[in-house]
Amino acid sequence: DAGVIQSPRHEVTEMGQEVTLRCKPISGHNSLFWYRQTMMRGLELLIYFNNNVPIDDSGMPEDRFSAKMPNASFSTLKIQPSEPRDSAVYFCASSSPGLAGAGSTDTQYFGPGTRLTVL
């Protein structure tokens, strides 16, 4: 398995521009999570989906941030307009509930991240 795939790996943009980050979860996983990591705030959960449905978006900083999951194999995180304080590493992770009766550790598998720099 290729693992969680994120693109782009690096993004440099100017303030006010729209930024779209992409994620392909591991095939068969039914939960997808978007995180943001900064030195100041550590790792923050922004939003997560279960079976393509947004469950909790309380971590989304403000209306400039939006996330979609149109199907089980693709999700986007969009920032419009972007601001310098959005500069961070954005991670996508996916997990699976495991087989019924087999027990599940709910392990999350992380992608390599997208390093976003907003000038």
Partner 1 sequence: GEDVEQSLFLSVREGDSSVINCTYTDSSSTYLYWYKQEPGAGLQLLTYIFSNMDMKQDQRLTVLLNKKDKHLSLRIADTQTGDSAIYFCAERSGGYQKVTFGTGTKLQVIP
Give the interface with partner 1 as residue ranges (CB under 8 A): 4, 31, 33, 42-43, 45, 48, 50, 55-56, 91, 93, 95-97, 104-113
59: exposed, middle or buried (Cβ count in 10 Å: 0-12, 13-18, 19+): middle
Side chain identity at 92, as an amino acid letter?
C
Residue whose CB is less far from partner 1, 37 or 81: 37
Minimum separation from the CB atom of position 88 to partner 1 (A): 14
When the beta carbons of 64 and 89 are compared against partner 1, the nearer one is 89
Amino acid in the structure at residue 104: S
Least CB distance to partner 1 at residue 10 (A): 11
